[in-house]
Structure 1
């Protein structure tokens, strides 16, 4: 509180005047004097009802959202009354923006036992949030958040999330959180909640890409909470899909199956494109846990649903298209121990992919090369890895770093082969030059 007071540049009298004025806007009769500020600065806690008024005063003065935690207040006990979800979102994003504090935040671990919010839970943690004088939002603000999310997604696909995520977190804190607390029609507010959910999903995805699993899970859970508040089943299912993919990446196959099954519940409320996206994921998790009898019907369902997708789809993130279906086919084949078939499908998938998506090209190229090596095609694998290394210097991604390190380790047994030896040296040089800081 002392730091914020100093940053605001207020005298104690100015501080109390501002708090009293905002209190009157909320129908509260406040008459604070300078001694109250002295007590706050010395650590005495103001009354619970006054805390959001003080936060609003500081937010207006500093032109940025101030959370309970940043001001030294305990998190609100009744989040439905105090719009705790917004405060939590601000704090999560603010920590992610700060290079020093980000290390502490990233230390969290992925939990397979995390409690998944129930879609049918009628509690809306954000419905009672008041604007407190923040601007009124309309369709223009919603469109801007959607466009920014799409731009962040494009940057992530091209270059990875290491440099993009802090910018997305700053946008989440400084722009989206105030919008969530603003006035607006029910339709606009729900659309803003959905847009915020998509941005949280993307930010979580970028955290997972960097290997920060606990942080990614926090963002995914926040995305689910926002989606539930918006009554947006598509966004809710997308966040669950992200958590399922994360669980798969970490080897928790049964957890991934549970999460995907939860995402597909009440499928009639989900758009065909999202149903296809979820069915493809379910097919792969089923291949790993239940076998072909369960996996193949879900692949057919994905193919059927993708044919129903039209121009009217409102899905912003998680678009499912023929290339993604081909990738899911490759994953299912691999899950069913058909590595040769998986390699063939990955080649078809690569032919359908956008070459501008460098991070995707690196990760997919690594997957193809690893499987080519698995079936004994050493020189083909080296050729694929060679293509991957063309894109790799442009990518800032923890996952990409790890795949290059894995590439070097995989080639060690084959160093008598001149092609393999050359590729091994190229991989080592990429790490040595500092292109892959996450792998050191």
Structure 2
């Protein structure tokens, strides 16, 4: 049977003003960004246009490349890739956020969909609506038929309590074991509440609570290396917060997206725009959220404009000083230790190694006893900074303390810092104290 030509893909190439060779080049570059190799040239694109279905991971890379080029989301259907493996139905940016959350949480119990989501491709294309200067306002979307039972302020308060419990458990023991419990809570309790009848005021509180829990789960996915899945939860959280008209949670969601991209090594203008948009949204929020957003803006600006980075850092510190003391909570408290950590990131990028080292030392000193993961990651970065300054003995002392905490933290981020320690110390492996530390690390697995 003759193949049907993919005229939809051809139309997108024309809209993008790309030749087949230019698309192939963009795909190879994009694959390299994700640590992949893609055999693709002009003849490969010609076969796709003739109707041959691209093989994974080409379909997702193709959609991402076109989305980035056209500055708008491009779906598989629009690109004529219906025969390509889809991620999960209706997870586009335009999809209803409640539907997205329901599909995502249910996927946690479906091995096939879960695997597809976790092996998906992270997308740097940013929806235009999140790059504008508009403040979120409560949505008026008509909901699907409600389930039986009602949900109200008590359920919203329960979500806040559960967020605090999950956050504290993740800080103490790492997100590895907490993630499955949070997934079950989102899938069973949270989505049920969102489908239940509620007053408009209660519904907004429920949307905010679910957005915050989705953000928390997205962070746990990112910790485990499921970058695309983390991004799905971040997008959903931003949409839920926007529908609730909650500027604080919306700003936190955009900030989380920028932080996630930065941690993956993306420092492009698109990621800077996310940080700027978060700072814009935070102007309608309280001072703690403003400081939180400005600190990430400083981290991102350091890759583009040093003066702007220091200005944002000063703004973050000023806002933080004005915040009254409050009971710690994952979404209404920005610890000074975290601010100093972002200060260290900013200064390190600007080349101020000594200043970054001082900021890391302050961050470590200010860490709460319950923030074991934060303290452990900060200590690892401090050890790396000390080694870069030629202070091997000090670095080894910090790494020994890092190994003290390592066995009780179930975190891929912490495990990656252990791998970094081994690589950095390899040139010093004949040094007696270094050899002892490396031997201890081997014993930990």
What interval of TM-score do these two structures reach, taking the shorter chain for normalisation?
Answer: 0.7 to 0.9
Q: Secondary structure at the match of 2:369?
A: coil
More divergent stretch after superposition (228-237 vs 319-328): 319-328
Matched, 1:286 2:301: yes
Query: Counterparts of 1:277-356 in structure 2 under 5 Å?
Result: 277-291=292-306, 293-310=307-324, 317=331, 319-356=333-370
Instruction: Give TM-score, length-normalised by structure 1.
Output: 0.75
Say if 2:340 and 2:362, in contact at 8 Å, map to a contact too: yes
* Match among 120, 124, 133 for residue 112 of structure 1: 124
Corresponding position of 1:103: 115
Matched, 1:153 2:163: no
In structure 1, what is the Cα distance between the partners aligned to 2:339 and 2:311?
14
Cα shift at 1:231: 0.5
More divergent stretch after superposition (106-115 vs 376-385): 106-115
TM-align CA RMSD: 2.6
Q: Secondary structure at the match of 1:289?
A: coil
Corresponding position of 2:102: 90
Cα shift at 1:126: 7.0
Say if 1:359 and 1:392, in contact at 8 Å, map to a contact too: no
- Cα gap change, 1:126 to 1:171, in 2 (>3 Å): farther
Matched, 1:241 2:241: no
In structure 2, what is the Cα distance between the partners aligned to 1:334 and 1:97?
42
- Cα gap change, 1:123 to 1:328, in 2 (>3 Å): closer
Cα shift at 1:309: 1.9
Say if 1:79 and 1:125, in contact at 8 Å, map to a contact too: no
More divergent stretch after superposition (139-148 vs 322-331): 322-331
In structure 1, what is the Cα distance between the partners aligned to 2:126 and 2:311?
29
Please identify the structure whose Cα radius of gyration is greater: 1
Say if 2:357 and 2:382, in contact at 8 Å, map to a contact too: yes
* 1:197-217 alpha-carbon deviations (Å, 9 max, x no partner): 000100001111111111110
Note the residue ranges of structure 1 that are not aligned, 5 or more in a row: 1-73, 432-440
Matched, 1:423 2:417: no
In structure 2, what is the Cα distance between the partners aligned to 1:270 and 1:121?
10
- Cα gap change, 1:270 to 1:400, in 2 (>3 Å): same
Number of equivalent positions: 355
Say if 1:284 and 1:328, in contact at 8 Å, map to a contact too: yes
- Cα gap change, 1:126 to 1:89, in 2 (>3 Å): farther
Instruction: Give TM-score, length-normalised by structure 2.
Output: 0.74
Q: Secondary structure at the match of 2:151?
A: coil
Corresponding position of 1:182: 196
- Cα gap change, 1:77 to 1:341, in 2 (>3 Å): closer
More divergent stretch after superposition (241-250 vs 356-365): 356-365
Say if 1:134 and 1:178, in contact at 8 Å, map to a contact too: no
